[in-house]
Amino acid sequence: MSSSAFVTGVLAGLEPTPNINIWQWADKYRIMPKGSAEPGNWRTKRTPYLKEIMVELSPQSPTQKVNVIKPTQMGFTEIGNNMIGFYIHIEPRFGGMWMPTDKLAEKHSKKKLWKMVSETPVLKERVSDRRKGGGGSDESSTITEWSYPGGGLSIAGSGSGSSFRSDSYAFAIKDDMDGFVDDVDGEGSPVALIDNRTDSFANRKIYSNSTPTIAGNSHAETEYEDSDQREYYMPCPHCTPKEHDQQNQDNMLTFNINYFSYEYNKETFALESEVILICPHCEGEIKEYQKTWMMDWDSGAKWIAHNPGHVNRGYKINSFYSPLGWLTWKDIILERLKAQAKMKIGDMRPMKKWKNTRLAEAWEENYSKLDIDFLKEKQEDYDNEVPYGVLVLIASVDIQDDRLEILVEGYGHDEESWIIDREIIFGDPALPQVWEDLDRFLLNQTYDHENGKMKIYATGVDSGGSKTKYVYQYCKPRYSKRIYALKGARPLDAPIISKRDAKKSKYKTTFFMVGVTQLKDVVWGSLNITVPGPTYIHFSTGKKFTDDFFEQIISEKKDKTGRWNKIKPTVRNEAFDLLVYSRATLAITALNVNKLQEPIFFNQMKSTVKKRRVIRGGIR
């Protein structure tokens, strides 16, 4: 059958399409594949908060833009999938779905959308099979470009320039929008570009959803501000009138985090009771099993606008609304307590994640301003010797045009650390002398501990900047001596360390990418702690630790996008970087410091590679 005959045949053979909306379509036709959270027939009743959103995305509603701020895994991506099914089957249109990256888009298409098509008969008979035709003719589909009678679908990553140039779309889905790239080929934000591609359709439908990230830099937050700002209100089983026409914002409640009640140990952050909800109106106790009744539209649950009358619809919800059998209230609170325990030792990351993915709230970067006096007050009376508590010594090296700066830091249990020594080697790093001096220092320098002598166990050398070649030349033959080349990784969420294989590197040297943003967050958190203990950084009164050292530590601040930048372009920041590289180096050694009972003295140190020809002679 030729492709045009295929289209005509399909169109002629179809029954008249019923006048239903998206959630009714999903309840009637959508089959969730095996392996999904709830296989079998889709039931909107299971996730009742999704119903109104699907109504608004249907052609019967005049609404054009719907934006959702949401936690992870609550079914909001499935709304997009249902929308696609509906606009293939009931009212065929051209549409596009964007996800943060091409990889995610392709994965979603393969694992979710094509599965939906193959399990849902009314879609299977419409979407041309991608396995036939091999993408040769106009009507055959590929993984990310679909064809069906009356329309087509593109599935793309947010940075895919071609997806914004070619077509215009009558419906658009922006899935997990806060993960989108900032700019597409210099043409601006994909969030705006997508809207532009829909401009020519009076009945366009734009659905965006996102888990928010950082306050002030969240698309989801900005779009929610520009909407009627709805929250999901439910009747209290004890005090709200049962008659729906008497229920309103003043006698219903939301699953606000502040209404939850539980006991926990203030020291260990262990949960010590059941998690229950206290009604803000009658103070009656509500147990988790009651949420199914509360969330049901038959009980009167509904979205209420806080900014009524706005032309755009905005919806905001948190994880406490997860249907019974999914994430529990207890799980959510346990995660919060764990994050609070981490916060106490200066690590804010788990709390940021909890707020983003559970409360669906953007994270306020509320960084305290450290000053020199605050840090200098921490100075303790030890100089070039190793205080009790230190178990291993790590050096980090920063390369400047005219010198090398070295920091020696000791680590004990629970990432508590002591600044031990600071050394500057003057000279041009392009010349061998500087590296010979560094070698002498790293390999020979010893520090007195009351039970023995300690040497530097491992060293990380920053290879960024203009002297990269010399750093690799130095580090390559010294890998077995635990002297590692490091390089800062730019992405905000880059892992703390990731190894790069020598074969793939330009200088044929194994090196490590360092997640500087994450580690700077950690260092900053540690610097703010006032009581010695886990992750606290001790400072020495040694005469090498002059004011400029402390100035360098507080030389950067975080901007709205979550990146660390120098306060002034001229300020020096070596000491802050060295604290970061020191922690990365400790991570590379994979040493479990918490398991050490005794310090690693120099006569116990072994090379990581035992049988190895030692290369001598410095730089060649």
- Which of these segments, 169-177, 242-250, 279-287, 472-480, binds Zn ion (CB under 5 A)? 279-287
State how far the alpha carbon of 302 is from the alpha carbons of 78, 162, 305, 321, 478, in Å: 20, 40, 10, 13, 65
At closest approach, how far in Å is the CB of 237 from Zn ion?
7
At closest approach, how far in Å is the CB of 287 from Zn ion?
13
- Collapse the DSSP code of 168 into the 3-class scheme (helix H, G, I; strand E, B; otherwise coil) and give the result: coil
**With binding defined as CB under 5 A, does residue 475 bind Zn ion?**
no
Closest-CA residue to 78 (of 22, 156, 18): 22
Residues forming a β-bridge with 156: 98
At closest approach, how far in Å is the CB of 239 from Zn ion?
3
Residues forming a β-bridge with 207: 66, 173
Specify the residue, 240 or 526, whose C-beta has the smaller distance to Zn ion: 240
Specify the residue, 279 or 492, whose C-beta has the smaller distance to Zn ion: 279
Specify the residue, 39 or 284, whose C-beta has the smaller distance to Zn ion: 284
At closest approach, how far in Å is the CB of 280 from Zn ion?
8
Residues with Cβ within 8 Å of 606's Cβ and at least 6 positions away in sequence, in order, are none
- Which of these segments, 93-101, 150-158, 275-283, 533-541, binds Zn ion (CB under 5 A)? 275-283
Helices (H) and strands (E) in the chain, counts: 19, 28
With left for phi above 0 and alpha for psi between -120 and 50, is residue 288 left, alpha or beta? alpha
Binds Zn ion by CB under 5 A, chosen from 281, 376, 469, 563: 281
Tokens of 588: 């590379």
Backbone angles phi and psi of 302, in degrees to 5: -160, 160
Specify the residue, 214 or 294, whose C-beta has the smaller distance to Zn ion: 294
Specify the residue, 245 or 283, whose C-beta has the smaller distance to Zn ion: 283
State how far the alpha carbon of 526 is from the alpha carbons of 378, 561, 581, in Å: 12, 21, 15
Binding-site residue total for Zn ion (CB under 5 A)?
A: 7
- Collapse the DSSP code of 247 into the 3-class scheme (helix H, G, I; strand E, B; otherwise coil) and give the result: coil
Specify the residue, 238 or 612, whose C-beta has the smaller distance to Zn ion: 238
Instruction: Quote the crossing angle between the two packed helices 468-475 and 432-444, to the nearest 10°.
Output: 40
**With binding defined as CB under 5 A, does residue 238 bind Zn ion?**
yes
289 burial via Cβ count (<10 Å: 0-12, 13-18, 19+): exposed
* Residues between 68 and 97 that touch Zn ion (CB under 5 A): none
At closest approach, how far in Å is the CB of 229 from Zn ion?
24
Secondary structure in 3-state letters for 30-75: CEECCCCCCCEECCHHHCHHHHHHHHHCCCCCCCCEEEEECCCCCC
At closest approach, how far in Å is the CB of 282 from Zn ion?
3
At closest approach, how far in Å is the CB of 290 from Zn ion?
11
- Collapse the DSSP code of 472 into the 3-class scheme (helix H, G, I; strand E, B; otherwise coil) and give the result: helix
**With binding defined as CB under 5 A, does residue 276 bind Zn ion?**
no
Specify the residue, 250 or 402, whose C-beta has the smaller distance to Zn ion: 250
At closest approach, how far in Å is the CB of 297 from Zn ion?
19
Specify the residue, 238 or 440, whose C-beta has the smaller distance to Zn ion: 238
* Residues between 159 and 198 that touch Zn ion (CB under 5 A): none
Specify the residue, 259 or 374, whose C-beta has the smaller distance to Zn ion: 259
Specify the residue, 239 or 341, whose C-beta has the smaller distance to Zn ion: 239
At closest approach, how far in Å is the CB of 258 from Zn ion?
15
Specify the residue, 300 or 314, whose C-beta has the smaller distance to Zn ion: 300
At closest approach, how far in Å is the CB of 296 from Zn ion?
17
Name residue, tokens 């215009």: 168
At closest approach, how far in Å is the CB of 253 from Zn ion?
7
Specify the residue, 111 or 238, whose C-beta has the smaller distance to Zn ion: 238
- Binding mask 416-435 toward Zn ion (x if CB under 5 A, else -) reads --------------------
* Residues between 443 and 462 that touch Zn ion (CB under 5 A): none
Helix or strand (DSSP H, E) at 149: none
- Collapse the DSSP code of 424 into the 3-class scheme (helix H, G, I; strand E, B; otherwise coil) and give the result: strand
At closest approach, how far in Å is the CB of 234 from Zn ion?
11
* Residues between 197 and 236 that touch Zn ion (CB under 5 A): 236
Binds Zn ion by CB under 5 A, chosen from 239, 304, 337, 494: 239
Percent of the chain as helix, strand, coil, to the nearest 5: 35, 20, 45
Specify the residue, 238 or 453, whose C-beta has the smaller distance to Zn ion: 238
Specify the residue, 250 or 267, whose C-beta has the smaller distance to Zn ion: 250
- Which of these segments, 23-31, 75-83, 108-116, 271-279, binds Zn ion (CB under 5 A)? 271-279
Tokens of 615: 């290369």
State how far the alpha carbon of 403 is from the alpha carbons of 39, 80, 477, 556, 558, in Å: 64, 56, 22, 21, 27
At closest approach, how far in Å is the CB of 49 from Zn ion?
20
**With binding defined as CB under 5 A, does residue 279 bind Zn ion?**
yes
- Which of these segments, 237-245, 419-427, 459-467, 486-494, binds Zn ion (CB under 5 A)? 237-245
Terminal C-alpha separation, the chain: 70
The total of other beta-carbon atoms located within 10 Å of residue 323's CB is 18
- Which of these segments, 125-133, 189-197, 281-289, 588-596, binds Zn ion (CB under 5 A)? 281-289
At closest approach, how far in Å is the CB of 242 from Zn ion?
13
Residues forming a β-bridge with 314: 67
Specify the residue, 51 or 291, whose C-beta has the smaller distance to Zn ion: 291
- Which of these segments, 201-209, 282-290, 348-356, 526-534, binds Zn ion (CB under 5 A)? 282-290
- Which of these segments, 185-193, 284-292, 585-593, 611-619, binds Zn ion (CB under 5 A)? 284-292
**With binding defined as CB under 5 A, does residue 345 bind Zn ion?**
no
Closest-CA residue to 315 (of 564, 55, 505, 616): 55
- Asked if 205 and 247 touch (Cβ cutoff 8 Å), the reply is no
Specify the residue, 271 or 279, whose C-beta has the smaller distance to Zn ion: 279
- Asked if 349 and 213 touch (Cβ cutoff 8 Å), the reply is no
Residues with Cβ within 8 Å of 362's Cβ and at least 6 positions away in sequence, in order, are 212, 213, 214, 215, 216, 218, 220, 221, 355, 356
Distance, CA of 476 to CA of 279 (rounded, Å): 64
Closest-CA residue to 390 (of 343, 461, 448, 346): 448
Binds Zn ion by CB under 5 A, chosen from 271, 278, 282, 337: 282
Residues making contact with Zn ion (CB under 5 A): 236, 238-239, 279, 281-282, 284
